[in-house]
Amino acid sequence: MATTAMPVGSSTAPHEYENSGLWSWLTTVDHKRIGVLYLYTSLFFFIWGGMEAVIIRAQLQGPNGQLVSAEMYNQLFTMHGTTMVFLAIMPLSAAFFNFLIPLQIGARDVAFPRLNAFSYWVYLFGGIFITVPILFQLAPNGGWFGYTPLTTRAYSPGINIDFWVIGLQILGVSSLAAAFNFITTIINLRAPGMTLMRMPMFTWMSFVVQFLVILAFPVITIALVFLLFDRFFGTNFYTVAQGADPLLWQHLFWIFGHPEVYILILPAFGLVSEVLPTFSRKPLFGYPVMVYSGILIGVLGFGVWAHHMFSVGMGPIADSFFALSTLLIGIPTGVKIFNWIATMAQGSLRFTTAMLFAVGLVALFTIGGISGVMHASPPADLQQTDTYFVVAHFHYVLFGGSIMGIFAGIYHYFPKMFGRLMNERLGKWHFWLNFIAMNLTFFPMHFSGMLGMPRRIYTYDGGQGWDTFNFISSMGAYMLVVSTSIFVFNFFRSKKRGEVAGSNPWEAGTLEWSIPSPAPEYNFAVLPTVSSRYPLWEGNEHDAESARINAQEGKTPAQLNIVLPYSTIKPLIVAGSMVLMFCGLLTTIAVTMIFAAIMVVALYSWLLSPLEPEHH
Amino acid sequence: MANEPVHSDPAATTPHAAAHEHHHPTWQTYVKVGAVLTAITVAEVWAYYIPSLVASRIFVPMLLIMSAVKFITVVMFYMHLKYDHKLFRVLFTGPLFIAALTLLALMFLFGQLAAKLGR
Amino acid sequence: MWLTPDSAMQPAVWNGFCTEYCGDSHAKMRFRVFTVRPPEFASWVASQQQPAAFGAVAAPAGAVAAAQPSGTIEIAPRISGTGAQGGNDPAVRRPSSSNIEGPDTVALPTQSTVIPVSNIAPGYTFPRNQAQFDYAVPKTPTPAGLTFTRGLTGNAGRGQQIYSSAACIGCHAIKGNPMSAGIVGPNLTHFGSRSTIGAGSFPNTPAYLALWIKNTPRMKPGSLMPTLGKNQISNQTGQPVTTGGLDDQQIADIVAYLTALK
Amino acid sequence: MSAPAAHHYTSTGLDSRKIAIWAFIGSECMLFVSLISTYLIYKGKSLVGPYPHEAYTSPTGQTFPPILDIPVTSASTFVLLMSSLAMVLALAAVQNKEVPKHTTGDRILGSSKLWLWMTALLGTTFLGFQAYEFTAFVNEGLTIRTNLFGSSFFTLTGFHGAHVTAGVIWLVSLLAIDYRRGLGPNDALNVDLAALYWHFVDVVWIVIFTLVYLIQ
């Protein structure tokens, strides 16, 4: 199944992916196509999670809402949280990891292309596994955090929580596999001359994120194993009657949970750090400071987890330690905000849609950051925890932060992915509607939160001062539906009829803009050399020479004597059989045995087959 | 730290520099290391069988030190951390450092640290 | 948690919410905090420790044999829940906050009188006038289609017999009623003195209490109390309740009995 | 294992898979630390059932001796240590296969097949000890359900045992390849990966042995 040669694309209309039949997508190991697959799937789940949010807002529009029952509401808000965190924002970042990292560091592909395909397929099947139950009203209903004793078999006897526990284990495997892949890629496949301090900022932030993933996911894997054993094999990790302490779950979950929220935000920081310099026509201000603050956020991220647990009574020493470490981690985040502002200062700004979204992140994330620092102090948090104030906080940092950054990234890198520009007018409509709707939806939650409206309630009595705020939030949510549909329309329309973009429509400075759009399968005709942080802006003549060669279109791998890895279906089979093996826990053990056997056979056949044709 | 940038990155070495020198220790060294590990294990178990020592305050720290020595010996000699590229040291000690801190924090939070030290 | 009201504070009531997520009933886990003066608090505590105020069997070790009033209660006209901003179901209207015409309504003390701690009346001196703290009275409308026959009069004595022989004793305990020793459900010894039922879901008036007993899962989703009303649709089986179901008269009697348990 | 196409450019001159295995070991550190901290958190908090180091008499008068059997576990620890030694000798044998005989005096002590066999055998012996210990505990009334000690102990040692089993399967696969086409210096990296994984699993047992078995 050698890869077929790529037909010569005319420089006017960018070529579609050459053999874009279904089989070529199922067997692809090309990091760019896997990135596009991640993008499509995660946008679908983002809209799916958004629909869940709209139903929640419709139910809470007025007091004593009757739209959905208590059980259905609990499944909706649990799946809204789980879908948005694990199936939308992380994979949206993964889409950019996959697509951008090799291009930014001047590599032909990731270190382990087949492992990369495996992570995508595990994510897809895991996403389906955890999303389908809601159609049968069997979705997880324990909250995205799934605190025990509620989620133990005694208090959640149904199959709902089993879907959640197994679903998260599967998605954990996908993230971990991708993380090892990207750590090795970033360390080992940088172009000649690209030292660590010359890497683009997005790759740096991804580097920190991958370390967060490999260190945080094992902890939740163990927490989930304990819950799985408690639910299926009657062990007593969280059974109070046997002397166990349910706080063990909270601690293990949040040891993963807080690094997780940095996993969600740092890629958006990276994308903004690519967009702002490009449209300010200025290098990023204080590059080394941005790198070290990213690393500091990563490392400190493991020391702050218990600020989610100020109200469980850990005692003054623990509370004050975690309050201090939480305040401490605010500093590197603040440093980043100032560096972005300094990047824009005295820059010749061009407000394209991507730039608008990037500035939107700087503004809204700062609001979210400030409201976050407020409940870093335990006495304030005792009043705010589990109220809508916290809901407002994390929607400002997640929607105002991650999603804004990811939208900036989509508008910025759409030309490189599909060869066409997204429509700027629609883009501006999308931005302004999104900006207004976001504030309309989430700002009133600060007030209903401070007035004591608890989180996760499916209904509330009138006359407690919450009615108007909830009404405004719901109206804002409906506006978000409008703005997101403008984006979806713009996305699919521009793929076919967007204005054709050359290799560097924004005149950006980093390596990914030195190759044609959409990027050829082999990425770089010749390995680029790098002597500065912005090779296309400040590169020496050697860099310019390699950039010139790489800009030529229509070369086939054979002509350039480049060997590409075989496309193979094996990662998909291993991923599929692994997920079905997990399903065996819900059905009969025989199912697990059968698919475990298939998985091992497929795994051996994958490991023993050569990665690419022997180099003659 | 886990992801400290590697300063000694060979910036513009030829694409495939001669792989760093491969002078792995001889098998005699390995056997000696094996003997040392066995000796420490025997010492640990022997200490376990002395009631006065077990009751004394230094029993736990002593065992922890011996176990740490074995840990470092295996990691340095058998896993070649001593001879291989500095990058691997960062890749291993970073996570180990965070893991150790998490362990201590958890034991403190569940009151076991005081119990252990108070013994 | 410590609340230290300043000296000028008049007796007041505070709306409380449990914010720890616990599943379907999470939205209905509410409580009230009444700020009162120490002697009132002492009298409340003392009264709570007494055995049931009605129909208590003389406990062997010298318990106070409470009087045996044959209290009767008139169930208020049909329940309708007009929430403060107009419940969205016109048929359901909330009753005006009339006092309970019960056998032993206790005259409400004015704030200034200080009750000596020793003179512990069997009832207790607590601001129970709902109108005074309207913001603390739950305004949840009752589920549509759940009605109770009007104009029934319940007899507390008969209510106690029905209570002591029905499913209630399996989950509830009443100090002084030896038959009832269940610990799954809340203790009902001083149920009559509570200001709300279902953890702040509804005001504790006979009208709401009747509906509560008739079909608890519909009144409060996620509650463990089974459906007791005869031919009400039970949430466990989905079939109308036939065996052991209570008809409206029996429910009215139980309401009288519970309301008498000051 | 497919030998990597040698001409791939790497910025550090190291093989990608070795970087990946070290990152994997770093990640596994967090996995085992979570298991170990759970064991230490629940140490001494079991309400009922056989205890690790103290005798226990149940309300019904049934007495249970301290359940941990130090001599057997010390032997299994020694077996795992020796398997680490065998592993490192196997790696040396593979790396120096083509080095002329007279100079190898100080490099190899025997063929790679011998040492791979020894490692796999010692690993399986260790698993045998574990299986014996588990069945002995179950017979003495300590199952994964009995108490906190049972749950955390069986999960911790079970996870470690699962890793040792995976290691043995990996070694046997290497042996199969060695028999089919021999393992030369260019396969050295595949054996190196297995060696690193194996030593890590041994190091985790060193920590477990001290924290679980020796410290009361």
The string of pLDDT tens digits covering residues A540-561 is 888 888 888 888 877 788 778 8
Average pLDDT score over residue span C127-134: 60
For the cut 90, the answer to whether the pLDDT of residue B56 exceeds it is no
Is D4 within a domain? no
The catalytic residue among A108, A307, A375, A446 is: A307
Average pLDDT score over residue span C226-239: 84
Q: In the prediction, which pLDDT does D106 show?
A: 59
The catalytic residue among A174, A203, A278, A448 is: A174
Question: Which of A370-379, B101-110, C8-17, C179-188 comes out lowest in average pLDDT?
Answer: C8-17
For the cut 60, the answer to whether the pLDDT of residue A15 exceeds it is no
Is A420 within a domain? yes
The catalytic residue among A33, A57, A231, A336 is: A336
Do A584 and A499 belong to one domain? no
Count up the domains in chain D and report the number: 1
Is D7 within a domain? no
Is A131 within a domain? yes
For the cut 80, the answer to whether the pLDDT of residue D179 exceeds it is yes
Average pLDDT score over residue span C218-238: 85
Q: Is the CA virtual torsion C219, C223, C225, C227 positive or negative?
A: positive
Q: In the prediction, which pLDDT does A522 show?
A: 86
**Interface contact flag, D202 B74, Cβ < 8 Å:** yes
Evaluate whether A308 touches A252 at the Cβ level (below 8 Å).
no
A194 shares contact with chain D (CB less than 8 Å): yes
Average pLDDT score over residue span B26-31: 84
What is the average pLDDT score of chain D?
88
Identify whether A567 is a catalytic site residue.
Answer: no
For the cut 60, the answer to whether the pLDDT of residue C67 exceeds it is no
Identify whether A119 is a catalytic site residue.
Answer: no
The catalytic residue among A32, A308, A395, A412 is: A308
In 3D space, the residue among C173, C174, C157, C176 whose CA is nearest the CA of residue C63 turns out to be C176
In 3D space, the residue among C81, C104, C122, C119 whose CA is nearest the CA of residue C208 turns out to be C81
Q: Using CB atoms and an 8 Å cut-off, which of residues 33-92 of chain B contact chain A?
A: 87
Confidence of residue D5 (pLDDT cuts 50, 70, 90): very low
Confidence of residue D109 (pLDDT cuts 50, 70, 90): low
Evaluate whether D199 touches D87 at the Cβ level (below 8 Å).
yes
Residues of chain A contacting residue C90, judged by C-beta atoms under 8 Å apart? none
Q: In the prediction, which pLDDT does C60 show?
A: 43
Do A145 and A293 belong to one domain? yes
Evaluate whether A81 touches A253 at the Cβ level (below 8 Å).
no
Is A401 within a domain? yes
Average pLDDT score over residue span C143-161: 82
Structural domain for A614, as ranges: 576-616
Whichever domain contains D204, its CATH number is 1.20.120.80
Q: Model-level pTM?
A: 0.89
Identify whether A336 is a catalytic site residue.
Answer: yes
Q: What is the pLDDT of residues D124-176, one digit of tens each?
A: 999 999 999 999 999 988 899 989 999 999 999 999 999 999 999 999 999 99
Is A267 within a domain? yes
Burial of D111 (0-12, 13-18, 19+ CB in 10 A): middle
Q: What is the pLDDT of residues A336-362, one digit of tens each?
A: 999 999 999 998 999 999 999 999 999
**Interface contact flag, B98 A302, Cβ < 8 Å:** yes
Q: In the prediction, which pLDDT does C74 show?
A: 55
Q: In the prediction, which pLDDT does C141 show?
A: 84
Do A462 and A587 belong to one domain? no
Is D9 within a domain? no
Q: What residues have CB less than 8 Å from C1, skipping those under 6 apart?
A: none
Residue after which a domain boundary falls, among A479, A503, A527: A503
Is A510 within a domain? no
Pairwise pLDDT comparison (A150 vs C94), residue with the higher score: A150
Q: Which residue of B has its CA nearest to A296?
A: B1
Question: Which of A316-325, C76-85, C245-254 comes out lowest in average pLDDT?
Answer: C76-85
A218 shares contact with chain B (CB less than 8 Å): no
**Interface contact flag, A187 D12, Cβ < 8 Å:** yes
Pairwise pLDDT comparison (D97 vs A381), residue with the higher score: A381
Residue after which a domain boundary falls, among A503, A526, A542: A503
Q: Which of B4, B69, B102, B103 to mutate to test the interface with D (most CBs of D within 10 A)?
A: B103
Is A216 within a domain? yes
Structural domain for D57, as ranges: 16-214
Residues of chain B contacting residue D34, judged by C-beta atoms under 8 Å apart? 102
Check contact C-B (3+ Cβ pairs < 8 Å): no
Q: Using CB atoms and an 8 Å cut-off, which of residues 35-74 of chain B contact chain D?
A: 37-38, 41, 44-45, 47-48, 54, 59-60, 63-64, 66-67, 70-71, 74
Question: Which of A346-355, A474-483, A603-612, C51-60 comes out lowest in average pLDDT?
Answer: C51-60
A89-92, Cβ contacts within 8 angstroms, sequence gap of 24 or more:
A89/A42, A89/A46, A89/A264, A89/A398, A89/A402, A89/A403, A89/A406, A90/A42, A90/A175, A90/A263, A90/A264, A91/A38, A91/A41, A91/A42, A91/A45, A91/A123, A91/A127, A92/A38, A92/A39, A92/A42, A92/A43, A92/A46, A92/A402, A92/A406
Average pLDDT score over residue span D33-60: 89
Count up the domains in chain A and report the number: 2
Confidence of residue A244 (pLDDT cuts 50, 70, 90): very high
Q: Which residue of D has its CA nearest to A185?
A: D16
For chain D, give the percent of residues with pLDDT over 70.
92
Average pLDDT score over residue span A564-573: 91
Give A554→chain B minimum CA distance, Å: 27
Among 1.10.4030, 2.60.40, 3.90.1520, 1.10.3300, name the CATH number for the domain at C12-57+69-107+121-260.
2.60.40
Confidence of residue B118 (pLDDT cuts 50, 70, 90): low
**What residues does each domain of chain C span?**
12-57+69-107+121-260
Is D173 within a domain? yes
Q: In the prediction, which pLDDT does D125 show?
A: 96
**Interface contact flag, D214 B44, Cβ < 8 Å:** yes
